Structure 1
C-alpha cells in the first residue's frame, strides 16, 4: 500500500501519469484507478481488493445440484456426452462439489 501511496502522491503533485507508471513499473490504468480510489476513500482505497464477483447469476440452485448428484449416484454409467446431464452445468456441478464418488464428481453426503 505504501508503494501505491507514493505513486499516487507523485501524480497528485503534478507528475505525468505515464512517467510515474514507468518509474514504478505499473500501468497507467492502475494509477488512474488508484488515484480515483484514493480521492474517494483515502488510504483504505489503496488496499488490495478481491476479484471475486459479488453475485453468480448462472449458479445452479442447490436443490437442482443435489438432484443431479443423486441421479449420478443412481446411474454411474451416465457420462457427459451421453445423457441429459451432459451440459456444462452438469459437469461443473460435479467438479464444484469436490470429491469423486461412483463414476462422477459428486460429494458423498
Structure 2
C-alpha cells in the first residue's frame, strides 16, 4: 500500500505534502484543506490456477471544504481515472500472461 496527501482539485496551484514519510505521519496528518489517498493492490486466487488483481483507492478529506472540493474534482475526472485504471490492469495482465510459468 502507498499513500499521498494533496489538493489535486487545485489545478496548477495544488500543494502536495511530501514531508510525511511514514505511516504514523500519514495517519496523524490533519491539516484542513487536504485529502489523503491510499492505493492498494491485492492478488486473489480466482480458482483454476487463475489470479485476480484487485485495486482499491481510498480518499479521506481533512476538512468539510476539502471533501466538497474533492467530490467536485472526482466528478470531473472519474471517467478518465477509470479508463487509466483499466489500461493499467490490462497491461499488467498482458505482461503476466507473457511471463514464464512457475512450477
Q: Same fold (TM over 0.5)?
A: no
TM-score under structure 2 normalisation?
A: 0.19
TM-score under structure 1 normalisation?
A: 0.18
Structure of greater relative contact order (alpha carbons < 8 Å, 6+ residues apart): 2
Greater helix content = 1
Greater strand content = 2
